Amino acid sequence: MDPQVKYLLSLDAIRDRAKIVGEAAKVGKLSHFDVHEEKLGAVAYYVTGVIKRDYGPDRYNEIPPHGRWQHFEVGGQPRIDELLKAWTSEGCDDKELTRRLIDLFFVSVLLDAGAGDHWRYVEPGTDRTYERSEGIAVASLYMFKKGAFSSWQSEQMIVDGKGLEQLTTETLSTGFQISEKNPMLGVSSRAHLLQSLGSSLLANANIFGPSGRPGNIVDHMLATAISPSTLDILTFWDTLQTLLIPIWPQDRTVVNGQAIGDAWPLSTLRTASAATELPNASTADFIQPFHKLTQWLTYSLTVPFQRILNITWTNTTSLTTLPEYRNGGLFVDLGVLSLKETSLARGLKASGGDLPQFAAGDDVVVEWRAMTLVLIDKLYGMVKERMEGVELSMAQLLEAGTWKSGREVAKERRPETKSSPILIESDGTVF
């Protein structure tokens, strides 16, 4: 693989490049945002308050890592536990239980790229209504149970490559209850993403077997284990990147002929390079990678390994925060980040409303996401200080702290839509 491409696909590159953006912010050299770091303490206070409210004073050990599992149990319904009990009664061992959850989580996470402000899902047979990430989780669960992602007639609750290749936009629309009155962003893009996933699974039969089953990554990872109970997140990451990079839209950033997914040119990196007179700089030096959905998938898939197979993961600190609109919106809503006049005016003109709007690959959005990485790394230390000795992983901070806080602030500020303070034109494959 081309060395520049390999680097930009790595976890190291995400933080390395964001640190450069953070240094530019310190000297007021951002292209689109002003930073009011004196307000970061108020954000730490808010986030710490949410964590203590929900888990204090003696339940901090119950904070789950950020992942898909808990979204399936929205409304206090033990949907995953019910599945596990049913599968166990069928004779599934722990490895097969883990494979099946990986199958489900894989498709559900990749479908979870922002539903928009208006979509809702009514759980079949109930009057329970869900939206956003939780709604997508429950909808994908019901599709999974009906065999929507499987070509195996005798094994409906399994995902395989051919089943995904055959998935249609119409099937996804029906499963997600989409209509003119209940619209979702990027439905056809999501369907195409899963179709491409099916093809990539089948193309990587050495890992996912001849059927292209996502759950077969369990056997692959156990075969590469550091010890019988220890796996390396970096090995897992490389495996996921090998599978997923070919499925993302191919009209995004390309380096040396290779599309590199959720990684985007950023003017701030070019400005910083000019300031330091970086010798022999190339286009690749001005790209900020994020790989948000792959990181979201990584966080989510590690949990079944831990809970069912009692696996310990090493190098988990290599993962970053998830640079998306909840974590990033927290800093805009609480005043740490504010758009510069020119960028704000352009965004308001694009939306025609009260909130600025930009495309997912716009330089404004890329800089916002990079600063989200920078600020949450700073916030992490501040929150841990306020937690007075309570151990808190980044995955727990995201789950119980920043992501939840970003959502709550959005609801307080914009109760009708609960939207981000900066609107993003998403195609259903980024956020």
pLDDT score of 70? 94
Per-residue model confidence (pLDDT) at position 412: 96
Helix, strand, coil percentages in the chain from 3-state DSSP, rounded to 5: 60, 10, 35
Collapsed DSSP state (helix, strand, coil) of residue 194:
helix
CA distance 140 to 133: 11
Residue 281 has pLDDT above 70, yes or no: no
**Which residue has 């929507």 as its token pair?**
148
Give me the amino acid identity at 267. Answer: S
Q: Is 33 helix (H, G, I), strand (E, B) or coil?
A: strand
Taking the complete model, does pTM exceed 0.85, yes or no?
Answer: yes
For residue 389, what pLDDT is reported? 85
pLDDT at 279 over 90: no
From the number of C-beta atoms within 10 Å of its C-beta (0-12, 13-18, 19+), residue 317 rates as: exposed
Average pLDDT over residues 376-398: 94
Question: What does the pLDDT look like over 83-122, one tens digit per residue?
Answer: 999 999 999 999 999 999 999 999 999 998 777 778 999 9
In this predicted model, what pLDDT tens digit does every residue of 261-271 receive, in sequence order? Answer: 999 999 999 98
Q: What is the pLDDT of residues 309-335, one digit of tens each?
A: 999 999 999 999 999 999 999 999 999
Q: Which two tokens stand for residue 93?
A: 């061992």
d(CA 388, CA 149): 46
> What is the torsional sign of CA 186, 189, 190, 191?
positive
Return the number of other C-beta atoms located less than 10 Å from residue 178's C-beta. 19
Q: Three-state secondary structure along 106-173?
A: HHHHHHCCCCCCCCCEECCCCCCEECHHHHHHHHHHHHHHCCCCCCCCCCCCCCCHHHHHCCCHHHHH
Confidence check: pLDDT of 275 > 90: no
Tens digits of per-residue pLDDT, 32-76? Answer: 999 999 999 999 999 999 999 999 899 999 999 999 999 999 999
Average pLDDT, the chain: 93
Q: Identify the H or E element spanning 289.
A: strand 287-289
Q: For residue 422, is pLDDT > 70?
A: yes
**What percent of the chain lies above the pLDDT cut of 90?**
86
Span 413-422, average pLDDT: 93
Tell me the residue ranges of DSSP E strands in 142-257: 230-232, 254-255
Please write the tens of the pLDDT for every residue from 118-167. 899 999 999 999 999 999 999 999 999 999 999 986 678 999 999 999 99
